[in-house]
Amino acid sequence: MSTFPIPGPLSLGDLLDRAFRLYRARFGLFVSTAALFLVPMSIISGLLTGTFITDYLDALTALGTGGSQPSEEAALRAFGGVLSFGGAVFLLGILSLLLNGLVTLALTSQGIGALHGESLTVGQGVRRALRRFWPFVRMSILQSLAYMAATIAILIPLGILFFLVVVVAGAIGIGVGSFDEASGIVAMIGLGLLLICG
């Protein structure tokens, strides 16, 4: 197996060239590693979706053929199917996030191993991924919390600003007495705020 030594900082072109050479040299290994987790996940997702669609269409057929008023049992069955599908999709989404994290860690381990001249098997890559899995989960949770904090820190002042603009626009509209004149003033305030914030 050839190594991919990095002599120093790389330009964007060199970086892309080395990445494509790495993928070309280890394509089978990378695809096998990803397929180990993602193919079963895709099959489960497809079966779940197919089961829901079939149950949903059966419920719609039962509701449609029951006369003008659907039976309570058919309506409850349709509603229960939607709820169970929603719960299953939620659990499947969490499982998918965890498996995608494992795939990312395993592929990263194999790529780093290739750069250092190691020839890792699928199992070795997965074992390395499992060792780094919980720190990866903690990092992902902290990253999500940081995004939420940044979003809140931005949205609260913007919400207050929006509220103040509405109050000022209402006060101007009451003070001017004419909606046409007030709308021009409010538009100018909006443009000013857009220039300040944007």
Distance between start and end Cα atoms, the chain: 53
Q: Tell me the pLDDT of the chain averaged across its residues.
A: 81
Interaxial angle between packed helices 133-176 and 179-197, expressed in degrees from 0 to 180 and rounded to the nearest 10: 150
Cα distance between residue 9 and residue 116, in whole Å = 16
Is the pLDDT reported for residue 75 higher than 70?
no
Is the pLDDT reported for residue 67 higher than 60?
no
Q: Model confidence at 176, in pLDDT bands (50, 70, 90)?
A: low
Q: Model confidence at 123, in pLDDT bands (50, 70, 90)?
A: very high
> Is residue 105 within 8 Å of residue 132, measured between CB atoms?
yes
Burial 131-157 (b: 16+ CB within 10 A, else e): ebbeebeeeeeeeeeeeeeeeeeeeee
Tokens of 44: 């489960």
Is the pLDDT reported for residue 163 higher than 90?
no
Tokens of 102: 């494992």
Tell me what pLDDT residue 71 has.
Answer: 63
Segment 117-146 mean pLDDT: 93
Alpha helices in the chain (DSSP H): 12-25, 27-65, 72-115, 122-131, 133-176, 179-197
Cα distance between residue 4 and residue 26, in whole Å = 12
Tell me what pLDDT residue 180 has.
Answer: 63
Query: Percentage of residues in the chain with pLDDT exceeding 70?
Result: 71
Segment 42-55 mean pLDDT: 83
pTM over 0.75: no
- Highest mean pLDDT pick, 115-119, 149-153, 161-165, 174-178: 149-153
Tell me what pLDDT residue 107 has.
Answer: 94
Q: Which position has the token pair 């001249």? A: 117
Tell me what pLDDT residue 198 has.
Answer: 55
Tell me what pLDDT residue 136 has.
Answer: 93
> Is residue 163 within 8 Å of residue 169, measured between CB atoms?
no
